[in-house]
Amino acid sequence: MWETYGLDNEDLLWAGTALQGGIGGQRKAVCGAISSSAVCLGLRHRCSLDVEEEANQARLDARKEAGELVESFAENFGDIICQNLIGVDLSDPEVRRHFRESGMWEEKCHNYVKFAVEKLYELDEKRNPATSSD
């Protein structure tokens, strides 16, 4: 999405790295795919703060789309909390190691990331219908 949104800056990728496994791997945190997507939506709707009305609308649009993403994710997967989604406590280093080595993260987390990215594209197409036929 960072390329799609014209955010060609590796710093933005690094900004989301602590969101893996929920924020800082904390068991009761929101899934990192959702958190990262919310950040992406904020960047997608960014505009100059010079025009207050435009900036306020951009904030409202970003929050509305983030809400739609969260609702859709929860409907699809039954929850948005990392531990509830993956069934393990990633704050325990040994559990985290086993989770990665076992490949469970590929089974589970890849599906969450894929869903979030597809939802971002869907939201973008709704926002810009003319670009969806490209």
pLDDT tens-digit map of 1-52: 666 667 777 787 788 788 888 888 777 899 999 999 999 899 889 999 999 9
Tokens in use for 132? Answer: 């969806």
Average pLDDT rounded to a whole number, residues 70-79: 97
Rounded to two decimals, the pTM is 0.84
Beta bridge partners of residue 30, listed in sequence order: 81
Tell whether the model's pLDDT for residue 123 goes beyond 80. Answer: yes
Q: How far apart are CA 28 and CA 122, in angstroms?
A: 28
CA atoms in the 13 A half-sphere facing the CB of 128:
11
pLDDT at residue 31 in the model: 94
